[in-house]
Amino acid sequence: MASISLPKNSLPSLLYTQAPKTSPFSQNVPVLSRSSHSQFHGLRLSHSASVSIPSPSSSLVNIMISAKVNKGQAPPSFTLKDQDGRTVSLSKFQGKPVVVYFYPADETPGCTKQACAFRDSYEKFKKAGAEVVGISGDDPSSHKAFAKKYKLPFTLLSDEGNKVRKDWGVPSDLFGALPGRQTYVLDKKGVVQLIYNNQFQPEKHIDETLKLLQSL
């Protein structure tokens, strides 16, 4: 009969060897699909998608982004394509107040509510002499379809690659999986007078911006 020789004192080490510990923060967490009407209003994922939540000792710290644009500052300029493929620069709005709102994506529940709320109050913004500009990472053709479907009377800009979002320091939500929903109000001189962030109450952005505009 064959036998196996083990080195002296090896048996205890075999018996008590433990499996590597895993952090609960590094597991893949399933996320509801778009068709299931997730509570995450701006999240648009496929049925099989999952969000990898990072370890708190690594990239989680990097998600806590400090705003690069603060109240009282002029934000970085940009030049982007609108829903009709035309080039639009921030400098175009110099001399009048402008509301710049960053949102996660076209055709998601919260973003649709927010866009329609801006649409329904658009006359109030015009009365205040202000322009409204929405920015997301969708391409111009997506913006065009979105604007046409909901009869949006304002400009939508395509920030493909999210460069402007990063330049302005718009923070993400849900451990970085969900692009942030943040609104800025710039005065006639192009200086930020309000920064408002609220992912899950998209319509409140309209109330807060109008309140500020009426005080300028």
Average pLDDT, integer, range 155-159 = 98
Check residue 160 and give its pLDDT: 95
Does pTM surpass 0.85? no
Average pLDDT, integer, range 108-125 = 97
Closest CA to 156 of 166, 141, 168, 169: 141
Look at residue 83 and give its three-state secondary structure.
coil
- The β-bridge relationship of strands 87-89 and 79-82 is antiparallel
> Side chain identity at 161, as an amino acid letter?
G
Chain centroid, CA 53 distance in Å: 17
- Which tens digit of pLDDT belongs to each residue from 178-211? 999 999 999 999 999 999 999 999 999 999 999 9
CA distance 59 to 64: 9
CA-CA-CA-CA dihedral for 189, 194, 199, 204, to nearest 10: -110
* Residue 60, token pair as written in the block: 């989680």
- Eight-state DSSP code of residue 69: S
Average pLDDT, integer, range 72-97 = 96
Q: Residue ranges of the alpha helices (H) in the chain?
A: 10-15, 60-63, 109-120, 122-127, 140-150, 163-168, 204-213
- Which tens digit of pLDDT belongs to each residue from 21-77? 444 444 444 443 343 344 445 555 444 444 444 444 433 333 334 448 999 999 999
- Which tens digit of pLDDT belongs to each residue from 117-155? 999 999 999 999 999 999 999 999 999 999 999 999 999
Catalytic residues: 111
Where is 165: in which H helix or E strand? helix 163-168
CA distance 211 to 178: 27
Check residue 117 and give its pLDDT: 98
